[in-house]
């Protein structure tokens, strides 16, 4: 069964540095998402992306964050000037469509800011 793959599985970064989290969505999917989960808390939506632009974003997704689909297969989340509170598990997801289509999640990247 096709899967969403995320790299790296664990990223350790110094506070203030930039980090790029990478995702390869399922190949025929058209909609892409990033979510995050701070340790011990629920999963929170960050952003959705379709047709090379952001479709929807949450209050968390401020100017520190950006997303990009640099080629036909990768989908990236960039976090500039990382803060301690950015430490979390970041999940990428994809779906064939919106609404009446399930979202498929990757295994996540655990980001630790020191």
Q: Is 96 in the site for another protein (CB under 8 A)?
A: no
Residues 50-79 as x/- pattern, contact with another protein by CB under 8 A: x----xx-x---------------------
- CA torsion sign, 53 to 50 to 29 to 9? positive
φ, ψ at 17 (rounded to 5°): -85, 160
Q: Which stretch binds another protein (CB under 8 A): 14-22, 70-78, 79-87, 100-108?
A: 100-108
Q: Which stretch binds another protein (CB under 8 A): 13-21, 63-71, 77-85, 104-112?
A: 104-112
Q: Is 107 in the site for another protein (CB under 8 A)?
A: yes
Query: Cα(63)–Cα(10) distance, rounded to whole angstroms?
Result: 24
CA distances from 29 to 24, 37, 83, 112 (A): 10, 23, 32, 29
Terminal CA-CA length for the chain: 37
Residues 31-50 as x/- pattern, contact with another protein by CB under 8 A: x-x-x-x---xxxxx--x-x
Residue ranges in contact with another protein by CB under 8 A: 31, 33, 35, 37, 41-45, 48, 50, 55-56, 58, 89, 91, 93, 98-105, 107-108, 110
């Amino acid at each position: 069964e096709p899967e969403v793959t995320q790299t790296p599985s664990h990223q350790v970064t110094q506070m203030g540095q930039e980090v790029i989290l990478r995702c390869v969505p399922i190949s025929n999917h058209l909609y892409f998402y990033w979510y995050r989960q701070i340790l011990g808390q629920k999963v929170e939506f960050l952003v959705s992306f379709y047709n090379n632009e952001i479709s929807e974003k949450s209050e968390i997704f401020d100017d520190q964050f950006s997303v990009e689909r640099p080629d036909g297969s990768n989908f990236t989340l960039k976090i500039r000037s990382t803060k301690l509170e950015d430490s979390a598990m970041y999940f990428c997801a994809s779906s064939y469509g919106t609404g009446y289509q399930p979202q498929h999640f990757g295994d996540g990247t655990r980001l630790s800011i020191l």
